[in-house]
Structure 1
Amino acid sequence: MSAPGKQSGREGGRSLKTRVKTARKRSLASTLWLERQLNDPYVARAKREGYRSRAAYKLIEMDDRYRLFKPGGRIVDLGAAPGGWSQVAAARVKAKEGKGRVVAVDLLDMELVAGVDFAVKDFNDEDAPEFIKAMLGGEADGVMSDMAANATGHRATDHLRIVALAELAADFACDILAPGGFFVAKVLQGGTEGQLLARLKRDFASVRHVKPAASRADSAELYVLATGFRGRLR
């Protein structure tokens, strides 16, 4: 209960926003980013529930809707750091109980996640598919990519760069997925490149765009989700 004469932090049923003053050494963009983080309910929820990033809720929403994970499934998380998606996958395939396997892959080191095997590895390396299948103990049931290239601020350039990452991830997925598997990757609104969509529609039974509620409303972020892998065309 608030002390007499003081505000509770909720007026008219709405939380008051935290405002951040621009520090001498902090740019306006950094100040706005920090202010947005402090006022983001998913950031606060991730801290309460022990997830490493707010991105965990995007994957939770996609799995709740499309049933991507099954106990015992084998999952690969590309560009995994800081590990929010790996945490969700490990819980839902029951990796900690020894039923499923999750392999997280990143160029940067990452603090270990319970139930997740981690490799500092470039998934584009020629030996990466066989290397990661050996870690999984077989072909994957799902390949996930929440990777994004560093933003340039030029929308067309950023779009092309993130689609290029998605295309590389799709190539890798088709080398490692078991029939029936899924692939999910971050893209940007404005239309996924036709070549990528055509390739996914050829190799998967269903391809759709998904905008989880946990994605910020002012973000161009979108995901392409392909399910029902038909098997590698030889």
Structure 2
Amino acid sequence: MARGDKPIGTRVRTARGRTAQSTRWLSRQLNDPYVKRAKAEGYRSRAAYKLIELDEKFGLLKGVRHVVDLGVAPGGWAQVVRKKVPQAAIVGIDLLPVEPIAGVTLLQMDFMADEAPGRLIAELGSAPDLVMSDMAANTVGHQQTDHLRTMGLVEAAADFAMRTLKPGGAFVSKVFAGGTDDALLRQLKAAFRTVKHAKPPSSRKGSVEWFVVAQGFKGQPQGSAPADDLSGEN
């Protein structure tokens, strides 16, 4: 290939029964350098690089020992933690089944279920020092509705983090464009020393996703249940 020439991407032919949208998605996947890199490096999804890049910028994984992964499927984020901090205990939860990951406890259940927070802490065996969430609601194609549904998950993840984290711990979560809503942002700023929004390079330019990164948890908010009380044990 001559210098200055652009690489020729893989062209996907429209197949019978395949919609134009699915053809565009497949084409994007086949030509995505992060997808190719993930396959080469053994990660289950390109999302692994979002956590890698966030860690490079914020040092999220430095010194962590107990990690909760909300919306773990297909397992890319858990793989990154396992690779970078092999001694850390990791518990992940998702509605979808996830192929086993060595050294990671996986729960197939709804995080919004009443028993889920206690089950996570019981399986982890300790309060977490990192809660990470890549959860997003299934989209219905209506931007405002999709935003509200995903923000509901962000709020639930943040509430779990603020009820369970060790002092000094961190919380990272996917949010939509526009970032965290004002009420939740105030809560996070009151509970953590620093709260920032970031869009890692591996997040597609056309994507509306951003991430909120809250670090330096100040301690349990008044009136909340400590992590040990969430296990359901008497």
- TM-score normalised per structure 1: 0.90
Using the alignment, how far apart are the partners of 1:175 and 1:131 within structure 2?
14
The superposition leaves residues 109-149 of structure 1 with CA deviations (integer Å, 9 ceiling, x where unpaired) of 21011221111232233333332222212100111111111
Structure 1 residue 71: deviation in Å?
A: 4.7
Runs of at least 5 residues in structure 1 that lack an aligned partner in the other structure: 1-7
Q: Which runs of 4+ in 1 moved over 6 A?
A: none
Using the alignment, how far apart are the partners of 1:151 and 1:129 within structure 2?
25
Matched, 1:184 2:159: no
Residue matched to 2:226: none
Matched, 1:35 2:62: no
- TM-score normalised per structure 2: 0.90
Using the alignment, how far apart are the partners of 2:102 and 2:172 within structure 1?
22
Residue matched to 2:66: 74
Using the alignment, how far apart are the partners of 1:93 and 1:71 within structure 2?
8
> What is the CA RMSD across the aligned residues, in angstroms?
1.5
Question: Size of the alignment, in residue pairs?
Answer: 222
Structure 1 residue 196: deviation in Å?
A: 1.4
Runs of at least 5 residues in structure 2 that lack an aligned partner in the other structure: 223-234
| Higher relative contact order (Cα pairs below 8 Å, separated by 6+ residues) | 2
Amino acid of the structure 1 residue aligned with 2:150:
I
8 A contact 1:188–1:222 mirrored in 2:
yes
Matched, 1:22 2:22: no
Using the alignment, how far apart are the partners of 1:124 and 1:148 within structure 2?
13
Using the alignment, how far apart are the partners of 2:198 and 2:171 within structure 1?
12
Q: Give the percent of matched residue pairs that are identical in Structure 1 and Structure 2.
A: 53
The superposition leaves residues 30-87 of structure 1 with CA deviations (integer Å, 9 ceiling, x where unpaired) of 0000000011000000000000000000000011111111355110001101000010
Using the alignment, how far apart are the partners of 2:139 and 2:118 within structure 1?
31
8 A contact 1:76–1:104 mirrored in 2:
yes
8 A contact 2:179–2:210 mirrored in 1:
no
Pick from 129, 146, 152: which aligns with 2:140? 152
8 A contact 1:129–1:175 mirrored in 2:
no
Residue matched to 1:88: 80
